[in-house]
Amino acid sequence: MYVVVQVRGVVNCRKEIKDTLKMLRLHHINHCVLIPDTPEYLGMIRKVKDYVAYGEADPEILGTVLSTRGRLTGNERLTDEYVKENSEFEDINAFATALCAGEASMKDVPELKPVLRLHPPRKGFKSIKRTYQQGGALGNYGSEINSLLYRMR
């Protein structure tokens, strides 16, 4: 399960990159989606790697992000009680663990919005024009995406 966060805007961007971001449901900066680990989605992520940050998240961080930023239809917060009543999971952390293991999807909790609207990161991005390996904020973070998600919670 990959976590993909849009870092850069799409002004003066090629149309195919805009279309790919739209297919990934990334319409605004600081929006986040959870993507399964399939070859089709990996190709889409590679195409937009200069506009997003992505990596594999830990269940603890994902549970924190879902509890603080997860929203239901009507802009209601995602709570442990709602998850327990409307799905087979006991709480948000069990749901996050199943998501990271690939045993569940965002559709398993009814009325959960698939896009997480995050805050800008505390202390800001280093540079949105360089990759993570070059000291910037773009591209593959690997397991280091957890620190970015924690700052954007």
Per-residue three-class SS string for 18-87: HHHHHHCCCCCCCEEEEECCCHHHHHHHHHCCCCEEEECCCHHHHHHHHHHHCEECCCEECCHHHHHHHC
Average the pLDDT over 36-47 and give the result. Answer: 95
Q: How confident is the model at residue 141 (pLDDT cuts 50, 70, 90)?
A: very high
The pLDDT score that the predictor gives to residue 153 is: 87
Domain ranges of the chain: 1-153
Task: Report the mean per-residue pLDDT for the chain.
Answer: 94
Q: What is the mean pLDDT of residues 114-141?
A: 93
pLDDT tens-digit profile of 84-99? 999 999 999 999 999 9
**Which band of pLDDT confidence, cut at 50, 70 and 90, is reported for residue 123?**
very high
149 pLDDT higher than 90: yes
- Asked if pLDDT for residue 52 goes beyond 90, the answer is yes
Look up the pTM and report it. Answer: 0.92
- Please name the CATH architecture into which domain 1-153 falls: 2-Layer Sandwich (3.30)
Pull the structure tokens for residue 38.
């399939």
Please, are residues 139 and 107 in contact by the beta-carbon 8 Å criterion? no
Report helix, strand or coil for 98.
Answer: helix
User: Residue 113 in contact with residue 71, Cβ under 8 Å?
Assistant: yes
